[in-house]
Structure formats: C-alpha cells, structure tokens
Amino acid sequence: MLVIQGWTGAAPPTWAQDAMHRVEVYTKTQAYDYDRLTLTNTSGQAQYNIHGYAPAWLKVERLWRTIESNNLNALWIDSDVYLLDRLQSVEALIKSCGDAALVLLSDVAAVAHFAGRSGRWCCKGRCVCWINTGMMLLRSTPRHPNWARHLLQALRTDRRCEPYYQGRQWEQDCLQLILQESSELPSASDFKRLLADPDATPAVVGASGRVCVLSHATVAPPLPSP
C-alpha cells in the first residue's frame, strides 16, 4: 500500500510538518510505502495539472497518476490529519468494507443533519454532506478491478466538477455529487445507523459494493469528558 500526503503553497507550518511526520512514522510501523508532495510554487502546481485549481485537487491528480501507472492500493491522508494510533493497520480499519474499491470517512456535518440542526450543505446546496475525503483509499479489488481508475478519470474530466475547481468543498463536493447521482453512496438510513453507533456499525457500503464509508469517530474518536 502507498500512503500519500501533499502540501501546496508556502512552506508547511510547524503543525502540518508534525502531522505529516506522524503519518510517515506510522507507515514505517506498518511497512507501507510513503510519498509526500510539497508544491511551493506555481510551476510545481502546473506540473500536477492543478494550476488554477484549489490546492485540494492535488489529491485527485496524484491518486490518478498512482493508480494509472502502478495499479497500487493508494491511501491519501490530508496534511491536517493528526494520527494518534500507530498500531492499528489500515487493513484492520477497513475489514467491514468487504471488496469496496473506494473507502471514505463520514463527514461530521451529517451528525447535525440527523440531529435536526442546520448543518453545512454540500454540492452548492444539492447534497447533505455525507462524506469527507480527508482520508481516502482507492484500490483494485477482485470484483472491481478498474472502477477506482474510472472514478478518478471522471473527477478529472467530468464537467460537473467545474464549479468546484475553486468553489468549496472542491473535489469532495464533486466526488459526492458523482457518487450520489450514480447511486453509489450508502442510503440515508445506513448513514444514520453508522453515525448513531459506530461501534455496532463501523462501516456502511453502497448497494453496488464499490463504495464504503467509515465513521469519522472510528478514525478520530471523540475525546473523553474531563
């Protein structure tokens, strides 16, 4: 497995350097490969075909190049993800996902949706914010050997993504829109079970079996009350 992180813009601040270092140490503990991109100028961004895009689109291009050239299992982890548990393997974390080719996290905004509060809406107000791409695993599986590649290609070329090249939530919104309109996401009732009790339901899978969503609380459980 290849774990990828990236940073665009000025040199990473101390907190980001620390967070990325923790992920790098984790990959050594788990014997995963690790790659970090730091693009601090426009020429580097143009090299990765993201000049004129929000920096978050770097993950799509980098994952595409990895899957297209090597057909590896590739895990993107945002540079602001602060990894706490170095002993839990990715394989153990996703054991409930079966043969899914895409594994994502739930978005904390969905909790507000089910609580009846006015949470954030995604896709320019067209979607409940179900998913978060801060951690995103794409892989070739026996049942779905090429699906992840086709999905990344769609993110790179689908005109539905154009409003999100600069508009939040960038690639996350466009991915959700594509998955939602192709009926790949788990159902709303599945998300409700996932968010209500992640210990009982650590992951939910869409009807096709290609997309799996883990509870964000599974990866970053809430801190105990003082």
Poorest-pLDDT segment among 19-33, 39-53, 85-99, 154-168:
39-53
Q: How confident is the model at residue 119 (pLDDT cuts 50, 70, 90)?
A: low
Task: Provide the phi-psi class of 59: left if phi over 0, else alpha when psi is between -120 and 50, else beta.
Answer: alpha
Quick one: pLDDT at residue 118?
62
Quick one: pLDDT at residue 81?
86
Say how far apart CA 135 and CA 13 lie, in whole Å: 20
Q: How confident is the model at residue 103 (pLDDT cuts 50, 70, 90)?
A: very high
- 46: pLDDT strictly greater than 50: yes
Say how far apart CA 20 and CA 116 lie, in whole Å: 36
Give the residue, 126 or 44, on which the prediction is more confident: 126
Q: How confident is the model at residue 106 (pLDDT cuts 50, 70, 90)?
A: very high
- 112: pLDDT strictly greater than 90: no
Q: Is the dihedral of CA 9, 170, 68, 74 positive or negative?
A: positive
Using one digit for the tens of pLDDT, what is the confidence trace for 55-82?
889 899 999 999 988 877 999 999 988 8
